[in-house]
């Protein structure tokens, strides 16, 4: 996935827009303001948005308690685009209040209930007014993200020096104490500095070369809270690399390599458990001699390093048909959670346990693809296979009697390593008999197989957890640029998504369960209203998702497992996904550019 910054507006222009969106399912209200300009290569822009939603709904659950949110965003950019290159300084603020669902229900009516005391001995049924409110409940999370980053591209000699530098501060708090709503259960503060420096040039005789280094430095601290899933730590990543490309007639070859190093320094931490429901970090100097103080994290100093490389080629049989093939070796160091986790995360309803003895992941991947582009048909097929050493995933822990291990009120999951194979393919077909009509189809299939650590793998352990099932998407879309009267650039589409049942799941220890297949229908229309001079006055879009109002659960969603410990026989447990939703979007553009006055003629 590549996130590409929108291009600047033409020189001398100041353009903007006001956007409003409404969603019928959860009452989504979203408004945004955008303004950007360009004066002799001095470019700037800003976007401000605000949105909120109440609990979403479906036929199976009704309104799903604690799925609402409020979110504010602001972004600003200023930069220069000149003959020597360009540089853009960006800043953004993200501030979100998000409900924390847990799926608890009344044992008789199956209506949603809510936690009202820390002892949690009784939960009342959520009232209809609470389910239909935009108010954020006491139990929620507050996520704030601040970013400053610079993207620069300098023309130096016969090449380009690309420099991307960034600063990010993330503050995440989860408020999980209904009787003390200002006390965060989770309070993580992560500061990240990123760097990416590379130089691209032609080394001679058509060899396009890029070399550079990228990585990051992170510092995570624990604020005042009562839950501690990961320790305070420092992390430093560095990865020098190079890529070379060369064309030999119809054959394009490319090769690259990099060497990654990741260093962790995790801090030891002790917890004071003297207050019921409110454990806190111990800051004294004698943890061993202080009553009610236990070790939460041991000190950790780890360094992981490894090389990765790739070699691939494209053979252009003609302008219409080509084939690509690639072989690569990959490297991934364990994360701090995988190494050191030892605490609950209310947002995922899991108590996480890491393993400091983990080794880094190494993989070997091969892929091959064919691509066809004809005047009325475009098609592609790609297949891949990835064999992974030391693959890291989570599995649930069970007691000897088969019941889940519960720690601090949450089911306990531990990280494990194993050999694994992930393979699959993608297929796409776009049939466009005329320029304005497209019938697009795609299919994606992924298999994840647990190869174990030696010996035969039991059936319940055979598959990797949380692998998506076969997914097909078909869409019939028509575009009519000329339009009718003042209505221009019209479009309409109908889409159909099919998801197979996921019966290849990690069943061991109750980690994952079977997920039924489902089909989703979508559709939309939209276009512009223009005046007689061809100037855009307003853009209007009406689009719907899950139009058949299907009750379904995605196997990739953890909400599927949010429910009471004992679910009545014959009842499908967990929370279902959003039902039918129709969104209405209106964009009103405006132009603040200075317009030259026409010369007066005698």
Res. 117: pLDDT tops 50: yes
Rg of the chain in Å (alpha carbons): 27
Alpha-carbon distance of 120 to 141, in angstroms, equals 19
* Average pLDDT score over the chain: 95
Question: Would you say how long the chain is, in residues?
Answer: 602
Note the pLDDT of residue 409.
86
- Please report the pLDDT score of residue 105 as a whole number: 97
CB-based contact 217:193 (threshold 8 Å): yes
Phi–psi pair at 225, nearest 5 degrees: -165, -175
Answer yes or no: are the C-beta atoms of 97 and 52 closer than 8 Å: no
Tell me the sheet residues that pair with 420.
Answer: 388, 450
Residues 206-256 have pLDDT tens digits of: 999 999 999 999 999 999 999 999 999 999 999 999 999 999 999 999 999
Residue 597 has pLDDT above 70, yes or no: no
For 462, the token pair is: 């055979």
Q: What are phi and psi of 512, to 5 degrees?
A: -140, 155
DSSP 131: H
Query: Residue 2 above 60 pLDDT?
Result: no
Using CB atoms within 10 Å of the CB of residue 334, give its burial: 0 to 12 exposed, 13 to 18 middle, 19+ buried. buried
pLDDT above 50: residue 1: no
**pLDDT tens-digit map of 282-326:** 999 999 899 999 999 999 999 999 999 999 999 999 999 999 999
Confidence of residue 602 (pLDDT cuts 50, 70, 90): very low
Handedness of CA 272, 278, 280, 285 (dihedral sign): negative
Q: Of the given ranges (87-96, 142-151, 402-411), which has the lowest mean pLDDT?
A: 402-411
**Does 30 have pLDDT greater than 70?**
yes
For the cut 60, the answer to whether the pLDDT of residue 535 exceeds it is yes
pLDDT of 563: 95
Q: How far apart are alpha carbons 336 and 188 in whole angstroms?
A: 13
Does residue 598 carry a pLDDT above 70?
no
Helices (runs of H) and strands (runs of E) counted in the chain: 2, 30
Token pair belonging to 270? 């002790």
* pLDDT digits 0-9 by tens, 414-472: 999 999 999 999 999 999 999 999 999 999 999 999 999 988 999 999 999 999 999 99
569 forms beta bridges with: none
pLDDT at 559 over 70: yes
Indicate the helix (H) or strand (E) that contains 374. Answer: none
H helical segments located in 471-596: none
C-alpha span between 479 and 482 (Å, rounded): 9
Task: Give the Cα separation of 321 and 318 in Å (integer).
Answer: 5
Count of beta carbons in the 10 Å neighbourhood of residue 318: 9
Alpha helices for 379-483 (secondary structure H): none
Torsion angle, alpha carbons of 480, 482, 484, 490, to 10? 30
Percent of the chain past pLDDT 70, that is, above it, reads 98
What sign has the CA pseudo-torsion 362, 335, 502, 508? Answer: positive
Q: Kindly indicate the confidence band of residue 275, based on its pLDDT and cuts at 50, 70 and 90.
A: confident
Phi, psi of 585 (to 5 degrees): -125, 130
Percent pLDDT > 90 in the chain is 91
- Please report, to the nearest 10 degrees, the dihedral formed by the alpha carbons of residues 115, 121, 125, 130 taken in order: -20
Which residues make beta-bridge pairs with 584? 22, 542
How confident is residue 373, by pLDDT bands cut at 50, 70 and 90? very high
197 neighbors 211 (Cβ within 8 angstroms): no
Give the 3-state secondary structure of residue 165.
strand
Give 569's contacts (C-beta < 8 A, 6+ positions apart). Answer: none
61: left (phi over 0), alpha (psi -120 to 50) or beta: alpha
- CB distance 494 to 470 below 8 Å: no
309 vs 240: CA distance, rounded Å: 12
Q: What is the pLDDT of residue 347?
A: 80
Q: Is the four-CA dihedral 285, 286, 292, 297 of positive or negative sign? A: positive
- Would you place residue 342 in the very low, low, confident or very high pLDDT band (cuts 50, 70, 90)? very high
Asked whether the predicted pLDDT for residue 601 surpasses 70, the reply is: no
Could you tell me how far CA 578 lies from the centroid of its own chain?
A: 18
Q: How confident is the model at residue 5 (pLDDT cuts 50, 70, 90)?
A: low
Predicted local confidence at residue 8, as pLDDT = 79
Grade residue 184 by pLDDT with cuts at 50, 70 and 90.
very high
For 126, the token pair is: 């959520």
């Amino acid at each position: 996935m590549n996130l590409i910054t929108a291009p600047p507006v033409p020189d001398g222009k100041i353009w903007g827009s006001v956007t409003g969106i409404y969603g019928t399912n959860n009452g989504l209200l979203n408004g945004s303001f955008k303004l950007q300009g360009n004066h002799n290569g001095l470019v700037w822009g800003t976007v401000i948005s605000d949105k909120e939603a109440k609990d979403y709904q479906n036929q199976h659950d009704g309104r799903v308690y604690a799925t609402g949110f409020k979110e504010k965003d602001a972004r600003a950019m200023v930069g220069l685009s000149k003959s020597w290159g360009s540089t853009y300084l960006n800043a953004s603020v993200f501030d979100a209040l998000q409900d924390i669902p847990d799926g608890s229900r009344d044992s008789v009516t199956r209506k949603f209930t809510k936690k009202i005391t820390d002892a949690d001995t009784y939960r009342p049924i959520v009232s209809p007014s609470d389910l239909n409110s935009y108010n954020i409940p006491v139990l929620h999370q507050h996520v704030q993200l601040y970013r400053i980053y610079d993207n620069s591209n300098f023309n130096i000699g016969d090449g380009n020096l690309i420099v991307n530098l960034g600063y990010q501060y993330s503050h995440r708090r989860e408020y999980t104490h209904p009787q003390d709503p200002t006390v965060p259960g989770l309070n993580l503060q992560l500061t990240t500095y990123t760097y990416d420096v590379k130089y691209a040039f032609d080394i001679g005789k058509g060899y396009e070369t890029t070399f550079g280094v990228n990585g990051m430095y992170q510092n995570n601290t624990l604020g005042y809270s009562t839950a501690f899933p990961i320790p305070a730590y420092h992390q430093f990543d560095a990865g020098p690399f190079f890529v070379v490309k060369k064309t030999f007639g119809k054959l394009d070859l490319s090769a690259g390599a990099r060497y990654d190093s990741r260093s962790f320094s995790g801090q030891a931490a002790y917890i004071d458990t003297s207050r019921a429901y409110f454990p806190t970090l111990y800051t004294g100097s004698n943890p061993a001699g202080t009553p009610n103080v236990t070790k939460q994290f041991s000190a950790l100093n780890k360094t992981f390093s490894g090389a990765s490389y790739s070699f691939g080629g494209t053979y252009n049989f003609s302008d219409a048909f080509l084939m690509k093939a690639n072989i690569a070796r990959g490297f991934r160091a364990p994360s701090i959670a995988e190494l050191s986790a030892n605490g609950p995360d209310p947002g995922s309803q899991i108590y996480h346990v890491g393993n400091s003895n983990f080794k880094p992941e190494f993989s070997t991947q091969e892929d091959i693809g064919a691509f066809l582009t004809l005047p009325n048909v475009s098609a592609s097929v790609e297949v891949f296979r990835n064999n992974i050493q030391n693959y890291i995933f989570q599995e649930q822990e069970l007691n000897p009697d088969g019941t889940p291990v519960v720690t601090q009120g949450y089911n306990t999951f531990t990280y494990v390593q194993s050999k694994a194979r992930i393979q699959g393919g993608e297929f796409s077909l776009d049939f466009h008999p005329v320029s304005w009509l497209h019938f697009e189809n795609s299919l994606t299939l992924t298999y994840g197989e647990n190869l174990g650590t030696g010996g035969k793998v039991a059936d319940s352990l055979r598959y990797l957890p949380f692998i998506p099932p076969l997914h097909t998407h078909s869409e019939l879309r028509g575009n009519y640029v000329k339009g009718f009267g003042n209505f221009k650039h019209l479009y309409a589409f109908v889409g159909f998504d099919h998801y197979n049942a996921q019966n290849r799941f990690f069943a061991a220890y109750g980690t994952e369960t079977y997920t039924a297949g489902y089909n989703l229908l979508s559709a939309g229309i939209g276009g512009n209203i223009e005046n007689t001079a061809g100037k855009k006055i307003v853009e209007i879009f009406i689009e719907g998702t899950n139009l058949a109002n299907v009750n379904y659960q995605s196997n990739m969603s953890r909400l599927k497992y949010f429910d009471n410990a004992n679910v009545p026989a014959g009842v499908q447990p967990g929370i279902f996904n959003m039902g039918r939703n129709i969104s209405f979007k209106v964009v009103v553009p405006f132009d603040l550019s200075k317009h030259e006055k026409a010369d007066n003629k005698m």
